[in-house]
């Protein structure tokens, strides 16, 4: 029953969230425009429900500064103070309320990973796409930025198998606490996933997050 009404709850919550946070998002957009540049949003294609791709929205947190050879500087060098604050408070994720309204995301579910990771999932791990990805999820409240990759996928599958309103409520409350305390946040870069299934990959995606 809950699986059938979850989408309706997401739609209602997403619309209310957009209305409530609209002034905040306009202020953030202005800050990003002043401190980073004209494009205030970072757009990235991610796999969603049943592996279908969608455009994930975030506020930009990094500039595009390059060295004298035209090569982008490191993530740490390009994250501006405003961007660091947005990451620490998770305010850079607010545009994803629109993804929730569109049906790309749910409030709770496995976080959408990079599409480059798809070839490396085993059949069991691909089941994480049997539900809509989420703004937050079971894996996020068990490690967030410092969770090993294999463990994170195992937690995602556990969520898919145990999805319920009670579990979603637990995740929601835990997420609020994590955001308020800034637990597990930070700008951490990571190498691309390869055939050797590198472990200890973080969740903040700062190698591609702007």
pLDDT band at 60 (very low <50, low <70, confident <90, very high): very high
Domain ranges of the chain: 2-181
Half-sphere exposure (Cβ direction) of 175: Cα atoms closer than 13 Å: 18
> Are 115 and 46 in contact, with CB atoms under 8 Å apart?
yes
63 has a pLDDT exceeding 80? no
Query: Looking at residue 191, what is its pLDDT?
Result: 45
Cα 23 to Cα 184: distance, rounded to the nearest angstrom: 27
pTM: 0.83
> Are 136 and 168 in contact, with CB atoms under 8 Å apart?
no
Query: Looking at residue 65, what is its pLDDT?
Result: 76
DSSP output for 3-65 = HHHHHHHHHHHHHHHHHHHHHHHHHHHHHHHHHT-S--EEEEEEE-GGG-EEEEEEE--B---
Average pLDDT over residues 77-98: 89
């Amino acid at each position: 029953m809950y699986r059938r009404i979850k989408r309706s709850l997401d739609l209602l919550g997403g619309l209310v969230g957009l209305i409530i946070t609209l002034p905040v998002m306009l202020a953030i957009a202005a800050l990003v425009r002043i401190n980073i540049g004209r494009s205030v949003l970072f757009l990235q294609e991610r796999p969603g429900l049943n592996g279908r791709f969608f455009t994930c929205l975030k506020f930009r947190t990094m500039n595009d500064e390059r060295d004298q050879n035209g090569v982008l500087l490191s993530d740490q060098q390009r994250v501006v103070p405003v961007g660091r604050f947005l990451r620490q408070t998770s305010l850079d994720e607010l545009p994803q309320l629109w993804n929730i309204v569109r049906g790309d995301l749910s409030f709770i579910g496995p976080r959408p990973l990079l599409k480059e990771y798809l070839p490396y999932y085993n059949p069991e791990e691909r089941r994480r796409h049997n539900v809509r990805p989420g703004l937050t999820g079971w894996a996020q409240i068990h490690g967030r930025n410092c969770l090993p990759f294999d463990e994170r996928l195992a937690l995602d599958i556990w969520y898919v198998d145990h999805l319920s309103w009670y579990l979603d409520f637990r995740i929601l409350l835990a997420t609020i606490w994590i955001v308020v305390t800034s637990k597990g946040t930070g700008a951490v870069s990571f190498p691309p996933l390869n055939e050797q299934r590198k472990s200890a990959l973080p969740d903040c995606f700062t190698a591609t997050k702007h």
